[in-house]
Structure 1
Amino acid sequence: MTSLSDLPIRDDLRGLSPYGAPQENVPIQLNVNENTHAIPEAVATDIVRALAIAVMGVNRYPDREFTDLRESLAAYLGHGLTPDNIWAANGSNEILQQTLQVFGGPGRSVLGFPPTYSMHSIIANATGTRWVTAERDSGYAISPETVVAAIEREQPDIVFLCSPNNPTGTALALETIVAAYDATPGILLIDEAYAEFADGDTALTLLEGRPRLIISRTMSKAFAFAGARLGYLAADPAITDALRLVRLPYHLSALTQAASVAALAHAPEMLAMVDDIKAQRDLIIATLPSLGYSPLPSQSNFVLFGGVADPHATFEALFEQGILIRDVGIPHHLRVSAGTEQETEIFLDALTSLKGHSTQSVADGVGRIQG
């Protein structure tokens, strides 16, 4: 049987592994930072109506410029943005890919600050862009001095900063973003996939007068739209013109556009669940120390916690109880998404049982979900 190594793939792809977050059919799935809340029924009904109308026209190609969607996204973001400032794609990963296709590629580099979103380096490799790294400060923060020193040392063509950062939940100060922009002659992309869960100011406030700044967003998290695959960015109109050079024709389907526009029309209802998710996140952070763990402060919809003697064993023990969280490869740490109140209770009960307490509440909880 032919194996991957037998194929004439690019030399720079040999030995690499694809993105591989586990997809398991278990009752409690808290491993990929999804919004586990269901879309409100009235909103779902309107989305289905929009899809029904769109289906009647799928014999034709969709609007290549996704005009209605860009108008809806600009209105949602505010900050004086217009549709000319907006670009969208099939998830924020495609936004990152198109950015690197335009501004990266062979002979160019992108600077990141691990631990950070794993797809940053994977997409860099896929586009032939050299991935270079720099260390964070203590507590996974990045100060203006740290980011400037790294940019001056590495001289990257692109800088990726994630705020709030995945997997740590750490938010960037706007001063750090301004310092990074001023230090680099190239593109600065701020990945704000979890911005709706953060308490601080968004980098959108910095866009005016900074034509090399890109703010990447997604509808996957706060909007509970992960399965719809809609990512977008805000930037100077010249950036969106540049991305048109590499986008595939009609890259956003008519169904994706229709569903996203319908969801954005119900933004207040869709975002009503954000406060509940933040409450569950804060409850996890407040409870974990009593169980002997060390949670990091988080401005996202997940919590990274340390003090785990054997992350793999803990991961497997939770999985056996129907709970899936994430081993992100940081020694003695695991990451858990903040889910519903019920899911949080079951997760915390399970961790308690692993510390030698009763497992009955965990069994009862999993039974409630399965039922």
Structure 2
Amino acid sequence: MDAVSASLDDLPLRSDLRGQMPYGAPQAPLPVALNVNENTHPVPEEVADDILDSVAHALREVNRYPDREFTALREGFADYLGHGLTADHIWAGNGSNEVLQHLLQAFGGPGRTAFGFAPTYSMYPLLTRGTGAEYVSGTRGVDYTLSAESAAEQIADAAPDVTFLCAPNNPTGTPLGVDVIEAVYDATDGIVIVDEAYQEFAPRDSRSALTLLPGRERLVVSRTMSKAFAFAGARVGYLAADPALIDALRLVRLPYHLSALTQAAATAALRHAPEMLAMVDEIVGQRDRISATLDALGYHPYESWTNFVLFSDVDDPAATWQALYEQGVLIRDIGLPRSLRVTAGTEAESTAFLDALASLGPGGAHGVTEERG
């Protein structure tokens, strides 16, 4: 085509989307990529073989629509989560972002508001605006923690229709106590979503929000297979909630939204949950090693119950990010002052990051460079 391409300004885009930026994290073919909190361990070979067999079997009937209710997968998630949950309490989608989008489509939308405590997961405002609702940001303490009293006061003042609680929080790694969840739930008549994408990396004796579900029909606990299950490329997220809330999500989902191949792969992976989760302890060990080494290098690592570490006291985050990039190490500049975030990878990957950072000297690289994070 010889004609000049149009720009967004030439299109009848919704006014509330003008000037907005899409989600984006650098994807670069570097030897050590530790910027998007992936599980960098490969799926164990024996598990991969079973997944392949299950997908191959599903292919034989791929000419037919998949099970619209993805019954076997919901049963698998219920068994995995425990806490007396059944398939009726479970919903799933193509990644936890789609699950959150379903919730906003059902309980958000034009004329309604969603609320989150900044800094938190960057997709919350994007998903909210994409469904026509308004996003409102609350605040955290100086160490990114959130007290029950402060959270409840902010929610009572804002009166949102949907509240996001990221537990543990992304991008800070901060734990969130069940007392905060209870206080927020009692302070609102709206939907409360507890995003437990990183729950498997929390201490084993920590309480999940799943324990709060009985008797709380407006409470939702969302999870993902991307992190602990090393399934980021498969795009499978899910949630647990009261069966009535699950019925509400059926009103907004697209027909047959989970493909037969996705259902087969995820169901097979859940059959091997112990093997898939065996790498979690190793990742937690590398996370704690990274935190300890960062502290020894003069940085300030924040407490993390996730598979990543946020650290501050970086003199020039953009320059440090660029210097690591040039050494083949990709981490994340998330825009917090004097801070960077790194995913805990394999032992070799974590060592490569720590060695590269140490080579930059105290405070990291200095000087003004183009920000690439």
- TM bracket (short chain): over 0.9
Aligned equivalents of 2:264 and 2:174: distance in 1? 34
Aligned equivalents of 2:294 and 2:171: distance in 1? 17
Structure having the larger proportion of residues in helix: 1
Confirm whether residue 256 of structure 1 aligns to residue 296 of structure 2.
Answer: no
- How many residue pairs align between the two structures? 356
Equivalent residue, structure 1, for 2:371: none
Aligned equivalents of 1:316 and 1:164: distance in 2? 28
Share of identical aligned residues, percent?
Answer: 64
Equivalent residue, structure 1, for 2:216: 210
Aligned ranges for residues 316-355 of structure 1 at < 5 Å? 316-355=322-361
Equivalent residue, structure 2, for 1:361: none
Confirm whether residue 313 of structure 1 aligns to residue 281 of structure 2.
Answer: no
Aligned ranges for residues 224-303 of structure 1 at < 5 Å? 224-303=230-309
Code of the aligned partner of 2:343: S
Deviation by residue 1:217-242 (Cα, 9 ceiling, x = unmatched): 00000000000000000000011100
Deviation by residue 1:82-116 (Cα, 9 ceiling, x = unmatched): 00000000000001101000000110001100100
Conserved 8 A contact 1:98-1:247: yes
Q: Secondary structure at the match of 1:251?
A: coil
Q: Secondary structure at the match of 1:51?
A: helix
Q: Secondary structure at the match of 2:139?
A: coil
Aligned equivalents of 1:158 and 1:319: distance in 2? 38
User: Unaligned stretches of 5+ in structure 2?
Assistant: 363-373
**Which among 96, 108, 117 is matched to residue 104 of structure 1?**
108
CA shift for structure 1 position 134: 1.1
Code of the aligned partner of 1:32: V
Code of the aligned partner of 1:260: A
Deviation by residue 1:247-295 (Cα, 9 ceiling, x = unmatched): 0000000000000000000000000000000000000000002212110
Q: TM-score, normalised by structure 2?
A: 0.95
Equivalent residue, structure 2, for 1:121: 125
Aligned equivalents of 2:227 and 2:192: distance in 1? 23
Equivalent residue, structure 2, for 1:163: 167
Confirm whether residue 40 of structure 1 aligns to residue 48 of structure 2.
Answer: no
Equivalent residue, structure 2, for 1:6: 10
Aligned ranges for residues 62-73 of structure 1 at < 5 Å? 62-73=66-77
Confirm whether residue 89 of structure 1 aligns to residue 71 of structure 2.
Answer: no
CA shift for structure 1 position 77: 0.3
Conserved 8 A contact 1:186-1:212: yes
Q: Secondary structure at the match of 1:140?
A: coil
CA shift for structure 1 position 4: 1.2
Conserved 8 A contact 1:137-1:146: no
CA shift for structure 1 position 5: 1.3
Conserved 8 A contact 1:102-1:243: yes
**Which among 28, 32, 39 is matched to residue 28 of structure 1?**
32
Q: Secondary structure at the match of 2:143?
A: helix
Code of the aligned partner of 1:137: G
Aligned equivalents of 1:342 and 1:136: distance in 2? 34
Code of the aligned partner of 2:293: T
CA shift for structure 1 position 211: 0.3
Calculate the aligned-residue CA RMSD, in Å. Answer: 0.7
Confirm whether residue 149 of structure 1 aligns to residue 153 of structure 2.
Answer: yes
CA shift for structure 1 position 138: 3.0
Runs ≥4 residues deviating over 6 A:
none
Equivalent residue, structure 1, for 2:365: none
**Which among 217, 225, 229 is matched to residue 223 of structure 1?**
229
Confirm whether residue 19 of structure 1 aligns to residue 47 of structure 2.
Answer: no
Code of the aligned partner of 1:22: P
Q: Secondary structure at the match of 2:215?
A: coil
Aligned equivalents of 2:162 and 2:93: distance in 1? 20
CA shift for structure 1 position 136: 0.7
